[in-house]
Amino acid sequence: MVDLRESWSIGPVEIPTRLVLAPMAGVSVQAFRRQGRRFGAGLVCSEMVSCAGIEHRNERTLGYLRVAADEHPLAIQLFGSEPETMAEAAQMVEAAGADLVDLNFGCPVKKVTKTGAGATLLDDPDHAARIVSAIADAVELPVSVKLRRGLRDGSRDCLVVGPRLVEAGAASLTLHPRSAQQMYTGSADHSLTAELVSLVDVPVVASGDITSRAKAQAVLATSGAAAVMVGRAAQGNPWVLEEIVDGPRGEPSREEIVAELVLFIRETVRELGERRASGFLKKFYGWYLGHGRFPRPFKQELVVLDSTEEVERRLIAAAPGSLELIEQLEAEIPSGDDVTLELPISIYGGG
């Protein structure tokens, strides 16, 4: 049996468990990452951050570079297509206090691929390698790259591109073995992950369809990957991370669910502000309260409420015992105000 509590390393960065929390746009806020660490993820990752946004000092983009003291080790993920712009953005990631710079060479979304970023780079190994080498030269942090199998169905391009990126300086690769064309349909073919592992001498992380401890164990054992990455299964369900790392723990109680969701709401409001957070959080209500945990109309009630305070009141009324748990958790976990590091002023380019 594979021990998921075993540590491993990317370059000098030690990662305490063999479970990585996936970068997910519109999901991987600090609250998600800090919760993931608490529930057993050894490494957490920001959602993809635009290098162009960083270059133009876009305020919202710079917000993605905020790192909390209890998130480490943390990767900040960049997407872009220009080696120089990306190298400068990587320097900002380093200054912001991340432990790894991760590069997105897998995003299948048109808005990203039409700019020459994301999965399109899988079609141009020379250019992809130039990006990695520019960044590896510009920063001390280890550089990791996240790939899909290729652009088109059945593609095996990752087996050509992956080793090139390692030659160019990548210290780790993550493979989501679906094609960009597939988006999220079909299934992740981890036999490709095993092939990639045999071709490179850096740790490979297996991403795609890891939804249970059994699946994680099977993929680790058959692919030789250093770690598994968990994405969709962790949405509204941090308990699955605990189960994957430590074994069965039973369903969370209603009180536990409400306590984690309330904490998540409070922290996200601190991070994004009430107005942005109240829209952002709506999908999480369904994720937390679904799985047959609460009656469906209850979620519907929450998503139409205007303020997150009102949502919190209704949640606590539905599981009054959660109050004690919330207090206990808040006492144990340092509050966001204490742990969020202010960005060094140079990050703002003086402006």
Catalytic residues: 107
Q: Is 66 in the site for ligand FMN (CB under 6 A)?
A: no
CA angle in degrees (0–180, nearest 5) for 330-335-337: 160
Token representation of residue 181? 């064309």
Strand spans (E) along the chain: 8-10, 13-15, 19-21, 44-50, 74-79, 100-105, 143-150, 172-179, 204-207, 227-230
Alpha carbon distances (Å) from 339 to 30, 93, 258, 303? 11, 18, 23, 29
Q: To the nearest whole angstrom, how small is the minimum distance from the Cβ of residue 175 to ligand FMN?
A: 9
For ligand FMN, the nearest residue by Cβ is 231
Q: Is 47 in the site for ligand FMN (CB under 6 A)?
A: yes
Q: To the nearest whole angstrom, how small is the minimum distance from the Cβ of residue 141 to ligand FMN?
A: 17
Q: Which amino acid is at 347?
A: I
- Give dist(CA 222, CA 196) in Å, integer: 12
Stretch that binds ligand FMN, among 55-63, 201-209, 316-324, 333-341 (CB under 6 A): 201-209
Nearer to ligand FMN, 232 or 299 (CB): 232
Size of the site for ligand FMN (CB under 6 A): 22
- Give dist(CA 114, CA 125) in Å, integer: 17
Contact map string, positions 141 to 180, toward ligand FMN, x by CB under 6 A: -----x-----------------------------x----
Which one of 10, 22, 98, 219 is in contact with ligand FMN (CB under 6 A)?
22
Contact map string, positions 222 to 261, toward ligand FMN, x by CB under 6 A: --------xxxx----------------------------
Q: Is 50 in the site for ligand FMN (CB under 6 A)?
A: no
Q: Which residues pair with 143 in a beta bridge?
A: 101
Nearer to ligand FMN, 207 or 322 (CB): 207
Q: Is 104 in the site for ligand FMN (CB under 6 A)?
A: yes
Q: To the nearest whole angstrom, how small is the minimum distance from the Cβ of residue 253 to ligand FMN?
A: 25
- Give dist(CA 19, CA 37) in Å, integer: 10
Which one of 17, 20, 23, 204 is in contact with ligand FMN (CB under 6 A)?
23
- Residue 67 and residue 99 in contact, taking contact as beta carbons nearer than 8 Å: no
Which one of 81, 85, 207, 237 is in contact with ligand FMN (CB under 6 A)?
207
- Residue 139 and residue 165 in contact, taking contact as beta carbons nearer than 8 Å: no
Q: Is 77 in the site for ligand FMN (CB under 6 A)?
A: yes
DSSP string, 303-317: HT-S-HHHHHHHHHH
- Give dist(CA 146, CA 102) in Å, integer: 7
Which one of 53, 203, 208, 336 is in contact with ligand FMN (CB under 6 A)?
208
Q: What is the dihedral of CA 163, 166, 171, 177, to 10 degrees?
A: -30
- Give dist(CA 307, CA 108) in Å, integer: 34
Q: Is 194 in the site for ligand FMN (CB under 6 A)?
A: no
Nearer to ligand FMN, 254 or 291 (CB): 291
Which one of 4, 20, 48, 76 is in contact with ligand FMN (CB under 6 A)?
48
Residues that bind ligand FMN (CB under 6 A): 22-27, 47-48, 77, 104, 106-107, 146, 176, 207-210, 230-233
